[in-house]
């Protein structure tokens, strides 16, 4: 079996690790991959935006299955290209990927099919947006319509922040979505989907803000843990039945069926579970903690989903905690090329998110650099193990939140 993974971050490292752990004989290629995964995958220095080059590589190497980690290649139609050339893939078409690439599309779809989400309005005009915002309760959420690498959501606590957010986002995006601020417990629910077939994974919770206590700007995610004790089995079942299955059916009904990993960013509110956002791929850093707990084989699961075969996912009865080490200055400007040391972890793993190997030394190449994941019988022990592992390395140019899992 030959697997091609497109991407080079922590999510892709975790996918490669899981496939290799399930079956070490599987041949894995990663484009571009990273230095931390080169012992389990052949890293190929191709541009992930050069879809023709990727297609040529997949055909030349007789790839049996292609998995796309990030949202950008999906939004540009890489699945359409590969499938159209007879290659087996597991991911959404360009039209189906709009569930993530267009907040406007996703919100309108939820509205039309009565899927619970925050009240909202869409604007392409600054003045009209401000008139609407001035009539709403604060705080209020302002989102870019298109992809923004996890940084297109601004929670405005006052009218000045709201005005600034609208100006900033409308400079880069044609539309913005202004929606009510939901309060409650946020959690992530990913599912394997093929048309009306929806098989949920274990839930996770991530930490979007850069600083301890949820302070500072949003990031791509500073850590995560799974499962989430405050989210009951009943709540998960409710989310699957009222959100995940209905949105999959809605896309089938719209003539754009979804295949791949559907990520639901959800909120347990006093009036029920509601959708914050959908993503069209594995979440990051949630993937790193969920796949560490997953006992079912990943590739086998994907082929069963593609064939609509009966499936029951199995997860270990433990807790996984992942703590991200990020470059100083992230999510704003930061310096690349600084030497880093890799934490030593006895049980669990350190996934590389933004590293390069230069002259035998790892250096940072991204905002989020590493994620240390520990799995233990209790949440407290998993936290303890993860932070002890981080303390085993000296990384003066990296920082991390100290409250992941609290």
Q: What domains sit in the chain, N to C, each tagged with a CATH number?
A: 2-93 (3.40.50.20), 119-180 (3.30.1490.20), 185-306 (3.30.470.20), 319-399 (3.90.600.10)
Over residues 164-168, mean pLDDT: 94
pLDDT digits (tens, 9 = 90+) for 283-315: 999 999 999 999 999 999 999 999 999 999 999
Average pLDDT, whole number, for the chain? 95
Burial 276-294 (b: 16+ CB within 10 A, else e): bbbbbbbbbbbbbbbbbbb
Element (H, E) at 130: helix 126-133
pLDDT digits (tens, 9 = 90+) for 44-65: 999 999 999 999 999 999 999 9
For 333, the 3-state DSSP assignment is coil
pLDDT digits (tens, 9 = 90+) for 125-141: 999 999 999 999 999 99
pLDDT at residue number 346: 73
CA-to-CA separations, 3 to 29, 112, 280, 304, 366, in angstroms, rounded: 6, 38, 20, 16, 25
Q: Give the Cα separation of 247 and 195 in Å (integer).
A: 10
- Among 34, 37, 31, 44, smallest CA distance to 18 is for 37
Over residues 349-367, mean pLDDT: 94
pLDDT digits (tens, 9 = 90+) for 210-266: 999 999 988 999 999 999 999 999 999 999 999 999 999 999 999 999 999 999 999
Confidence of residue 149 (pLDDT cuts 50, 70, 90): low
Q: Give the Cα separation of 30 and 18 in Å (integer).
A: 14
Comparing 90 with 346, the larger pLDDT belongs to 90
Q: Give the Cα separation of 106 and 256 in Å (integer).
A: 13
Over residues 65-89, mean pLDDT: 97
pLDDT at residue number 152: 81
pTM of the model: 0.95
Q: Give the Cα separation of 314 and 288 in Å (integer).
A: 16
Share of the chain above pLDDT 70, in %: 99
Contacts of 330 (CB under 8 A, 6+ apart): 210, 219, 367, 368
Confidence of residue 150 (pLDDT cuts 50, 70, 90): low
Over residues 319-335, mean pLDDT: 96
């Amino acid at each position: 079996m030959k697997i091609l993974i497109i991407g080079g971050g922590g999510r892709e490292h975790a996918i490669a690790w899981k496939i290799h752990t399930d079956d070490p004989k599987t041949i894995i290629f990663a484009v571009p991959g990273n230095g931390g995964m080169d012992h389990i995958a052949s890293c190929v220095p191709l541009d992930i935006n050069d879809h023709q080059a990727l297609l040529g590589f997949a055909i030349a190497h007789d790839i049996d299955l292609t998995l796309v980690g990030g949202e950008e290649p999906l939004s540009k139609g890489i699945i359409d290209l590969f499938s159209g050339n007879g290659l087996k893939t597991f991911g959404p078409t360009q039209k189906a990927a709009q569930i993530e690439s267009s907040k406007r599309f996703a919100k309108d779809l939820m509205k039309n099919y009565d899927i619970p989400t925050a009240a909202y309005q869409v604007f392409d005009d600054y003045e009209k947006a401000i008139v609407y915002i001035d009539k709403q309760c604060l705080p209020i959420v302002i989102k870019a319509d298109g992809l923004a690498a996890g940084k297109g959501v601004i929670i405005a606590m006052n009218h000045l922040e709201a005005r600034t957010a609208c100006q900033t986002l409308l400079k880069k995006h044609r539309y913005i979505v202004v929606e009510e601020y939901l309060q409650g417990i946020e959690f992530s629910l990913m599912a394997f989907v093929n048309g009306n077939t929806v098989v949920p994974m274990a839930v996770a919770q991530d930490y979007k803000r850069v600083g301890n206590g949820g302070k500072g700007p949003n990031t791509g995610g500073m850590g995560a843990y799974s499962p989430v004790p405050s989210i009951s089995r009943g709540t998960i079942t409710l989310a699957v039945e009222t959100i995940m299955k209905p949105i999959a059916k809605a896309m089938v009904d719209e003539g754009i069926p979804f295949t791949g990993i559907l990520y639901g960013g959800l909120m347990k509110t006093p009036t029920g579970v509601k959708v914050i956002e959908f993503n069209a791929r594995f979440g990051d850093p949630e993937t790193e903690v969920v796949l560490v707990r997953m006992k079912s084989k990943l590739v086998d699961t994907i082929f069963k989903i593609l064939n609509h075969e009966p499936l029951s996912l199995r997860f270990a009865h433990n807790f996984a905690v992942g703590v991200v080490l990020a470059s100083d200055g992230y999510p704003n400007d930061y310096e690349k090329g600084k030497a880093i040391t890799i934490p030593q972890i006895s049980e669990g793993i350190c996934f590389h998110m933004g590293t390069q190997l230069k002259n035998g030394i790892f250096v940072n190449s991204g905002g989020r650099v590493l994620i240390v994941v520990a799995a233990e019988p209790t949440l407290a022990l998993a936290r303890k193990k993860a932070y002890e592992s981080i303390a085993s390395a000296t990384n003066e140019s990296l920082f991390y939140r100290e409250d992941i899992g609290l």
